[in-house]
Structure 1
Amino acid sequence: MSGPRVTIREVARAAGVSQAAVSKVLNDGYGVSAAMREKVMRAVTELGYRPNAAARAMRGRSHTIGVVADIRTPIVAQITEGIEEGLQGSSLDILLAPVGKAPERQRSSIDAMLNRNLEGLILIVPSLPRPELEALGQSIPTVLIGRHGGGRHFDSVMDDDVAGAGLAVEHLVGLGHQRISHIAMPMGKFRRPSVLPQTAREDGYVIAMRDHDLEPDVITTDYTEEGGHTGAMTALRRKKPATAVFAGTDMVALGVLRAAHELGLRVPEDLSVVGADNIPVSALPQIALTTIDPAGKLNGSTSTRLLRERIDGRRNPVTHAITPSLVVRGTTAPPRE
């Protein structure tokens, strides 16, 4: 038969720390040093301490965070991997709600998660109106990924999409291109500064083109392979076709490559193509797509860090912008004479 249950007081005495420190380690409080965590967990193991699950339930702790995302978007896998990495060493679990882009579907999934008494929420590229997001942030620790503009009651992590688009244009202009088209996605009902990545990328493209005294050429379709195909056909069937296309995402770029093949154009000899997101398929030798790397895993791990700080009591909003990089591969080259 087992003996009396070991208490937090005994763990604290064995570790040589306060009971508050033990509680903070066991509850995954943010800011605990590695040395402190090691001392406490060593005492927990040696004494055989087991947290009282019933007491935790009474305090309302679920030790679970919710992640709401459109899993059809390839970069979501990278972001989710980063979120999981950020939870290593903690007792927090992930509850993933796969949704589409429709606000109604996102709203329904968020409501269902709130009923589960979660510790916090990470929303990947949410399309809900800004007032709803502010209200949500007041009710539960919340971090948004990919939504520009920041907020008063939630934290935000996003790529500097304006700078990323600038990298693409600078690269193509440096190769000698002047007729550079950009395939974008509609802005929708959003208003600056609270916009989604596609609007920020379009803004960055327009700014960079005008900085070089070049005329922007924005073709609005959607962020799919078919949208890229449609946009590329528009850009390449003109009397003076584009010599380069900056696609809003890598999936869009795949559609551009298909259109170029159908028109008998060689990439990069006849057409240069740049994508964005650096999804795994882009690195395949058969594709070798030049693309903007938005550091998806870093987005995820950073959002987890901020959420844990929120859960631990921080209230002031944080907006964290990640600087993207350009990965140059085989789909870009100087234009033909």
Structure 2
Amino acid sequence: MRDGEESRRITLAEVAQQAGVSLSTVSKVLNGRQDVSPATRVKVERLLEEHAYRRTTRVTREAPLIELVFHELDSVWSMELIRGVENLAKAHQASVVLTESGTRHAPAPDWLEGVLQRRPIGVVLVFSSLPDAVKRQLDARSIPFVIVDPAGDPEPDVPSVGSANWSGGVAATRHLIDLGHQRIGIITGPEDMLCSLARLDGYRSALNMAGLDHDATLVRFGDFHVEGGYARAMELLQVPERPTAVFAGSDLQAIGVMEAARACGLRVPEDLSVVGYDDVMIARWSSPPLTTIHQPLREMGEEAVQMLLRLRAGEPSVTRMELATSLVVRKSTAPPPAQTVRVPRPTARGAL
């Protein structure tokens, strides 16, 4: 913003004058209309960003929609969050639009154009971050947004909802230590995700508090999926002195760990204890039922919508919210076997 303009908001007429276009063209850009040339759109968007333009009144055509954005929609983990968002959206007479961004940490560029056309009352993004330019454009249209389980450490002014991942990592590892395990492997999530690193830090902290050494050969980064858990567990079970227990950073990965154990002729929990993370429905029905860390996924979705509605109404709201996690003990953990032997290499892949 140029000198002398800081004390007042720029008007759309002034943006139009500076861009050399009509007021109706600026309005079309602001409302996500497609009948504007790309060059004109870029010019107007740049001026809106430069002057930090933000609507002071809400548009009357705002749709009663909440945009829910995932980078993938192929897991029971996603369904739990969706239920939480839908529960609260329904209570406020709003519908939910599901979007798969196709990229791990930020929505694809064409996503923003669609949002501006749909004009939702707000956006909930999962496992994501937002480029500064996108944040400014959403702010300019008075479209509030909240990030659930941010991929990285969000800026102080970015509203987000997460869970106590570090505490969950501590609780899972301490449970195994209390059972008598000392060789504890971990398969956390992707190395570039905040929740994965927090769970790994919790694991290491629990080992430190128990006076146990870290062994880098027992640490693996996974992908939160069954196949990744299976592959990384196969690696852990072939180290010279294999772990007697594995903490998996998701329930799906834990299922993969149990399948790898079976392929190696090991019993769960008699020969190998397994702890998961999330406490999704599959954890209760696995064989054996999975000891896991309960992550309040539905509540996280509900809190994200509550935060969104408070932002939309201009009410005071916390910027960062972390919900508690808790240990759920089932049948997949037990004291370690009296003697641990090296696992022979499996001759064939298990049930996967």
TM-score (norm 2): 0.72
Q: Provide the C-alpha distance between the structure 2 equivalents of 1:78 and 1:170, rounded to a whole number of angstroms.
A: 27
Q: Which amino acid aligns with 1:114?
A: L
Show the counterpart of 1:94: 96
Aligned residue pairs, count: 275
CA 1:310–1:230 in 2, change beyond 3 Å: closer, same or farther? same
Q: Provide the C-alpha distance between the structure 2 equivalents of 1:83 and 1:215, rounded to a whole number of angstroms.
A: 42
Checking the alignment, whether the CA contact within 8 Å between 1:123 and 1:143 is kept in structure 2 is: yes
Q: Find 1:159's aligned residue among 156, 163, 166.
A: 163
Q: Find 1:197's aligned residue among 188, 195, 218.
A: 195
Checking the alignment, whether the CA contact within 8 Å between 1:181 and 1:235 is kept in structure 2 is: yes
Q: Provide the C-alpha distance between the structure 2 equivalents of 1:272 and 1:155, rounded to a whole number of angstroms.
A: 38
Deviations 1:230-253 (A, max 9, x none): 211111112210000000111111
Q: Find 1:187's aligned residue among 191, 195, 206.
A: 191
Q: Provide the C-alpha distance between the structure 1 equivalents of 2:190 and 2:59, rounded to a whole number of angstroms.
A: 47
The alpha carbon displacement at 1:107 in A equals 4.1
Checking the alignment, whether the CA contact within 8 Å between 2:106 and 2:129 is kept in structure 1 is: no
Query: SS state of the match for residue 291, structure 1?
Result: strand
Q: Which amino acid aligns with 1:113?
A: V
Q: Provide the C-alpha distance between the structure 2 equivalents of 1:58 and 1:269, rounded to a whole number of angstroms.
A: 62
The alpha carbon displacement at 1:222 in A equals 2.4
Q: Provide the C-alpha distance between the structure 2 equivalents of 1:136 and 1:158, rounded to a whole number of angstroms.
A: 24
CA 1:132–1:176 in 2, change beyond 3 Å: closer, same or farther? farther
Q: Find 2:211's aligned residue among 210, 213, 221.
A: 213
Q: Provide the C-alpha distance between the structure 2 equivalents of 1:133 and 1:107, rounded to a whole number of angstroms.
A: 9
Q: Find 2:148's aligned residue among 132, 145, 150.
A: 145
TM-score (norm 1): 0.75
Show the counterpart of 1:120: 122
CA 1:257–1:156 in 2, change beyond 3 Å: closer, same or farther? same
Query: SS state of the match for residue 91, structure 2?
Result: coil
The alpha carbon displacement at 1:101 in A equals 4.0
Q: Which amino acid aligns with 1:95?
A: V
Query: SS state of the match for residue 266, structure 1?
Result: coil
Query: SS state of the match for residue 87, structure 1?
Result: helix
Q: Provide the C-alpha distance between the structure 1 equivalents of 2:172 and 2:154, rounded to a whole number of angstroms.
A: 25
Q: Provide the C-alpha distance between the structure 1 equivalents of 2:77 and 2:133, rounded to a whole number of angstroms.
A: 25
Q: Provide the C-alpha distance between the structure 2 equivalents of 1:204 and 1:99, rounded to a whole number of angstroms.
A: 30
Q: Provide the C-alpha distance between the structure 2 equivalents of 1:111 and 1:209, rounded to a whole number of angstroms.
A: 48
Checking the alignment, whether the CA contact within 8 Å between 1:293 and 1:324 is kept in structure 2 is: yes
The alpha carbon displacement at 1:104 in A equals 6.2
Q: Which amino acid aligns with 2:220?
A: I
Q: Provide the C-alpha distance between the structure 2 equivalents of 1:234 and 1:113, rounded to a whole number of angstroms.
A: 43
Q: Provide the C-alpha distance between the structure 2 equivalents of 1:293 and 1:96, rounded to a whole number of angstroms.
A: 25
The reply to whether residue 172 of structure 1 matches residue 170 of structure 2 is no
Show the counterpart of 1:242: 243
Pairwise mapping of residues 1-337 of structure 1 onto structure 2 (< 5 A)? 59-69=60-70, 70-103=72-105, 105-128=107-130, 131=132, 134-135=135-136, 138-139=139-140, 140-147=143-150, 149-188=153-192, 195-216=193-214, 217-284=218-285, 286-314=287-315, 317-337=318-338
Checking the alignment, whether the CA contact within 8 Å between 2:275 and 2:332 is kept in structure 1 is: yes
The alpha carbon displacement at 1:134 in A equals 4.7
For structure 1, the residue ranges without an aligned partner over 5 or more in a row are 1-56, 189-194
CA 1:187–1:275 in 2, change beyond 3 Å: closer, same or farther? same
CA 1:107–1:292 in 2, change beyond 3 Å: closer, same or farther? farther
CA 1:220–1:149 in 2, change beyond 3 Å: closer, same or farther? closer
**Over the residues paired in the alignment, what is the CA RMSD in angstroms?**
2.3
Q: Provide the C-alpha distance between the structure 2 equivalents of 1:134 and 1:215, rounded to a whole number of angstroms.
A: 43
Identity of aligned residues (%): 32
